[in-house]
Each structure stands twice: as C-alpha cells, then as structure tokens.
Chains A and B, each alone.
Chain A
Amino acid sequence: MSPIALIVLFVSVPSLILLLYILVRGSTGLRRYILTRIGLTLPMIFILATLVFFIMHILPGDPITSALGPKATPEIVARVRETLGLNKPLIVQYGLFLKNILTLDFGNSLVGGHRPIIDEMSERFPATLELIIPASILALFIGIICGTFAASRRKSASDYSLRIYSVIIYSLPIFWFGLMLQLLFGVILNWLPISGRIDPVIGTSLQHVTNLYFIDALISGNWPALGSVTAHLVLPTLTLGLILSGVFVRLTRINVIETLQADYIAAARARGIREHVIVYQHALKNAMIPIITLIGLQVAILLAGAVLTETIFSWPGMGSYLVLRISARDYTAVQSVITMFALLVAIISLAVDIIYSLLDPRVRY
C-alpha cells in the first residue's frame, strides 16, 4: 500500500468520522458553523488553484522550450506540448487542471524516470510531515511557556528579554539560522549530522511502512535506526521550531495579558487564589482560544519555513522537491506541488477553525 494511502487512512478517516459525529451530535449552531466553514473552504481551494494555474500558464515565459533546451527541434517541442495537452485552448487546459486536482492525478514528471508525480509526492510528503509536526510542537511548547511567563511578570527584565527574543527571532532569516546551527553543532562541535533523514548505511536496514522514519523505526523496533533518525531530526526541528516560537511567544504573551485584565481574574485574585494558579490555569486556559485561531494563520509561515529548512538540510520533503523540480524546469511537477501546498493550507486552516469552534462555544454563525 502506498504511503499516501496509509496517511489518508490514518489521518483523514478518523477525522472524518469525528467530524460526522460532531455534525450529528452537535448543536444546531455548531453544525451550521462547521458546514459554512467547509462551504468557504471549497471556494478558497478553487481560488488558490486558479491562481496557481494563472501563474503557471498566463504569465510570460515558455516552460516547455526552456525545459527541453536549445537543441530541441520545433517538432519535438510540439510533440511534448501535445502529450502534456498544452496545445489545447487555455479554457480546456484549465478544466483538465481542475479535474486533475479532484482525481489527485497530476500526470507524469517531465524529467527523471517520468514517474507519476503523485507517487513522487507521496514519497516525500511524509518527510515534510516528520519535519513540521515536531517543529510545531516545539514552537508551541516554547511559545506557550515563555509567553505566559512573560505575561505574568510584565515589565520585568525577563519580560523585556523575551520580547527582544521574539523580535530577534522574527528577524532571523530561517535559512541562515539553519546554517549557523549546522556550523555550530555539525561542523565545529561535530555532534549532529547536517543533512538527510537517516544515516545511509543504517537506512538500508529500515523497513519503509509509513515513510515517517521515526514511526517506521519505532514499530519495527530498529533501535540504531531510531537513534539515527532522531539525530538527523534535531537540527531541522530546532531550526524551524525556534523560528516559529518567536511568533507564539508574542501571541501567547498578548493574549494572556489581555485575559489577566478580565474581571473574573480580579475576582479570583480577590478570593486569594495563588497567582501562579491564576496565571497558568485560569488565564492561560482562556487565552488558548484566540491562540489556536492564530496558529491557523501561522501555517503559511510554517510551510514557507519548511521549504527553506528542507533545502538547507537536504531533507527529501515536498519543499526540496519543489526546488529540485524548478531547477529541472519540470513545470508540471512544480504546478502540482504548489497545488498540493494550497490544499494543505486550506485543510489545516479548516481543521483549526473547527477545533476553535469546539473549544469556544461563542463562535457560531
């Protein structure tokens, strides 16, 4: 079974069941909200797909001629155009493009082994997941702990240093930060590997089930592989996670400060509840609601960061695939990868909004 099918099984089937459960058992308001939100996601996907199509087809520049190089005769160019359907009218191409998205069939790669693009992507997608999941967890962890701490000690030295931390982190180019970590931990200290997902020698012993190497090593009990995978994960995760943490520190700080000004906090204080209970239980819990929506907006930063992180660490994920295919001038693949990113963004923000509506009963249409 292909890895992408497994992911579809493990991720989307339970979430769909959950969604159906919510729709059936939830209140009318909640049901209306979720259905409206799903209704809004479809035009968003459609608009993004149209945008991608517009960029790839209407902007000046002839991808096929540049892909085939100067030696290609007009006949060859014409033949390639015909096989890719590029000689058809633009509107027909657009229809085919939308059909391809619906059927998740993006055609074959122009270069390399001319394999179906969806196969190549499904091999690389787990790598991206394996990078962005721990990175987001790290970012959230740092962000929530430090942000709440800064909010509870407002205007103290630690508050100001955390604010400066978040401004500096925001200004750091992620690709440079990654390079610096490579230089420090990979070259000078020589503690950690600086490229790839697993040691190539150990990698041969690993069975690929889900293509999430960490999970694969864990379920097959392959401990040396698990060690190698973890070591390879450290630097990319740190790079992406720390860069993202700046935004989360900021968001958490503002929201906790705002919550701390609420009347019920004053009431809790008046009742003599200890300050750290007020901050970490009462205020943080309520501040989490707006934080979760804002997480949805950080998906864009996360994915853009992932593209750069993957390139620095030669991480064989979707981002490095995109860069690779661009340098190979394989525009069919480029278009497909970008469309996949658009789908990903739309689905994640839908999921975040649904979670938000479950947590905060005030959000209803």
Chain B
Amino acid sequence: MPSKEEKTPNAKTETWQSDLERVGLFRRLFQARKWYGADWWFVAVSTVMVFGFIFVALFPRWLAPYNFDQIVGTSFLAPGEYPDLPVLITRTDSTIESLRDLAVTTDAERSVVGVIRGSPSAVAVNEQSQVVDAQLISEGSDLRLRPRINRYVTVPELLDAIVAGEVDAGVANVSELKQYAADYPQLRSGASISGGTATAGGFFMGTNNIGQDVFSRLIWGTRVAILVGFSSSIISLLLGVPLGLLAGYFGGRFDRSFSLVMDSLYAFPGLILAIAITAVLGPSVYNVIVAIAVLYIPTYYRIVRGHTMAIKEEVYIEAARSIGARRWEILWRYVFPNVIPSVAIIFSVNVADAILTGAGLSFLGLGMPPTIADWGIDLARGQRFIQSAWWLITFPGIAIMLIVLAFTMMGEGLMEIFNPKLRER
C-alpha cells in the first residue's frame, strides 16, 4: 500500500527520497522521521529507554541507595512505609538532635533517657550508646555517653515524662509512637538512633523478606539483564551470521545439512533447551549466557541465509563476479553489508528475547547463582509472599517488561526504517 507521501509527491520529498537511496546506515537512521511521519517516536522513545537501561546497568552504584545484598531495614516494609526503627523523641524546644548530643563530660551528671519496658528500642539505646561512646573515645573527646535509662510501662507515660522534663529524651519505635503523635504537639521525633535510614522517608519500593531494599536490588539487577541480553546475543550473532552467509552463498550439501540442524533447533522451545543446558552446566551467569546464545543462533542463520540467497541473484553481484572479484571478496564487500540492516533488527529483538529467557530461567531457580541480584530470582522469591507483600512481585516484573519493551520497540522502529517495504509488518 503506497504511503501518503507517494500518493501526493512534491519536488522536495522526491529529492530526499532519491538522496536516501544512496546514503548509509547512520544517515538513514537520522532521516527516519522524514520517512515515516508518525512512527519516528517509536524509535525515539525506545532509544532513550535503551540508553537509560544501559546507563543504569553501567553505574548502579550511583543510582542505587544501597548495595544489593545489604540489609537496610526491617523485613516486609511496604513501599513508603516507615521502617519500624527506634527514634529519639525530644521536646520541640530541645537542642538535642541525636544520641551524641546527650554525651556529657565525665564529672557532669549523666543524662537520662526514657524507654518503654520490653520494647526492642530499649535494647537499641544501650547498643547504640556504646557505639557512640566508643566513637567519642577514639576521637579523643572528653565527652562520654553513658546515659541513665528510665523505664516506663506505656507509651503515654514515657511521652508525659519527656514533656515534664523527667528525662532529657526518650526512645521508642516508630510503630509505637504512631497513634500518639497527634496528642503531643510539644514533642518531636527525630532521626533514628541507629543510622539515617528512618529519615529517608521509608523505602519507595519497600523491603523484601530479609530486609533488603527492593529498589536497590532492582537497580543492580539491570546489570545482569543487560549483561545476559547483550553477551548472549553477540555470541549468537558472531556464530549465526557467518554460518548463514556461507550456507546462503555456497549452498549445496553444507547448506542442506546445516539448515536441517538449525531448523530443528529453531522449532524446539528455546526455554526448555536452555533449561536442559543450565541444568547440566550448573548455575552461573556465564552458563546462562552460553545456553541462551545457543538458542538464538538459528534466528540469525535463517534470516541471513535467506537474504544472502536473494542478494546472490542481484545484478551487482553478477557484475562483481564478471569483473573477476573473488568469492570471499563478494561475500565480504557486497553481500555482508546488505544483510547488516536485518541483522540489526534481529539483534535488537534478540536482546529482548534473551533477557526474557534469562529471567525465565532464574525464575525457575536455574541459571543464576542465588547470591546475585537478579529480577527473575527476586520474582521467584516474592512469589512465596504473594499473600502479604504485593510489592515484591510487582516491581521486578515491571522492570523486565520495560527493558524488553524498549528493545522490542527499537527492533520495530529499525525495521520500519531499514525495510520500507515491510513497513506494515
């Protein structure tokens, strides 16, 4: 079906169209918008996404708040939920901001901290005071933190005591304070006494069953997805393209036997083959890459072989042959450049497929070693807690979907640019 531009030709479009017949790969990419008015955003959006993901994969350290295996809070915190950490409660007019401010010189009277009997926060006060005290000693300060602990039975009793000035400060868990916070406008709860995490405003994707930050694991997981996607696709490209070129160009017995093997491999469910290979090789990122690479060799082989067979019949190949070009030269200089566009399309879609297969493998508990940050592993672990923690299975899946979508859309866009005849496919 002819496009609108072709129906109503004007001088301008005709010039660039004829120009474009002669330009190379990159010019064609840049001219894409002119080719297909409505579809260029497909390429634009996907390119931004692809480069975004590659950036995240290269620099997870800058983007992730925590390391992927770091335990940063209590387990099963919902997204945005404040971790149940012990916080320091003081009067609003008090100058005390942290435990350290409670330190006094050895001859002064020790400061008093109120806690709730039996609450985990009481233990935290003791432990944390010792840490701060040790710090002060190592810094050579003459201040010491050895607070006297006053124990109260209920939260209101503790809060009343702070208001009355019986204690210098109180410590309680966030969850214990929640329901009374509104009744005591003259009090404020400050930072967590055991580090800064409580002030961060919770974890925006929550924490998992062992208290790791879901968001950080997501960021680190990008690395594995990109690594598996790209390396396996590159390996299959490096094997599939030359084989396809040779089989398509020389034909004969070599072509027939290879095609039979490749077609059988192509028809077989890739995931199941990858399952078999990783099951035998054992879990490691490299084994997953090898397993997936094997699966996608036929994809390149088939397309490149088909193209080569078509190109072989073109007039310019005939011409090259007639002026005495050698077979390898023809293959390398005239056939190969012509298959590059279709290889680029398959590569993009192939990366998407490889990421999906890799995630599927690790979801099944095969492939990736359990210590690694990987989306599939996180999903499989999250499935056990589907009844209580929706965020564990939601976010890694969205990440997989977005990255696959980015590469698939890029493939679609490339197809439209390189292959105007297939535009509607």
Contacts and interface: CB of A to CB of B under 8 A. Distances in A.
A258 B423 CA distance: 12
A167 B408 contact: yes
9 contacts: A44-B263, A47-B261, A61-B281, A167-B405, A179-B397, A257-B424, A304-B272, A326-B275, A334-B279
Contacts of B383: 179, 312
Nearest to B365: A327
A183 B390 CA distance: 7
Nearest to B353: A170
B83 interface: no
B289 interface: no
Interface stretch (B99-107, B128-136, B304-312, B355-363): B355-363
B270 A300 contact: yes
Interface in A300-318: 300-304, 307-308, 311-312
B280 A55 contact: yes
B63 interface: no
A349 B266 CA distance: 12
B90 to A, nearest CB: 41
A48 B268 contact: yes
A341 to B, nearest CB: 5
A172 B266 CA distance: 22
A264 B123 CA distance: 85
Given A44-B263, A171-B401, A345-B268, A326 B394 contact: no
A182 to B, nearest CB: 6
Contacts of A56: 276, 280
Contact of B269 (A261, A301, A327): A301
A47 B262 CA distance: 10
B277 A55 contact: yes
Contact of B272 (A61, A170, A180, A322): A322
Contacts of B364: 307-308, 311, 323
A312 B265 CA distance: 26
Contacts of B365: 323, 327
Interface of B: 1, 260-261, 263-273, 275-277, 279-282, 352, 356, 359-360, 363-366, 376, 379, 382-383, 386-387, 390, 393-394, 396-397, 400-401, 404-405, 408-409, 412, 424-425
A338 B261 CA distance: 17
Nearest to A188: B390
B370 to A, nearest CB: 13
Nearest to A319: B272
A345 B275 contact: no
B53 to A, nearest CB: 13
Q: Which of B276, B390, B424 has the most CB of A within 10 A?
A: B276
A254 B424 CA distance: 7
Contact of B379 (A63, A176, A307, A323): A176
A297 interface: yes
Contacts of B261: 47
A51 interface: yes
A175 B381 CA distance: 13
Given A60-B281, A175-B360, A338-B276, A44 B260 contact: yes
Q: Which of A48, A304, A311 has the most CB of B within 10 A?
A: A304
Contact of B268 (A59, A300, A327): A300
3 interchain residue pairs of minimum CB distance: A176-B397, A304-B271, A171-B404
B271 A307 contact: yes
A91 B352 CA distance: 39
A303 B365 CA distance: 18
A171 B408 contact: yes
A43 interface: yes
A327 B283 CA distance: 12
A179 to B, nearest CB: 5
Given A55-B277, A180-B397, A346-B267, 18 more contacts: A43-B264, A44-B264, A55-B276, A167-B405, A171-B405, A172-B401, A173-B360, A173-B363, A173-B400, A177-B397, A179-B397, A183-B386, A187-B386, A257-B424, A299-B269, A304-B269, A307-B364, A311-B364
Contact of A179 (B266, B271, B281, B386): B386
A303 B272 contact: yes
B401 A173 contact: yes
B408 A170 contact: yes
A131 interface: no
Contacts of B276: 52, 55-56, 334, 338
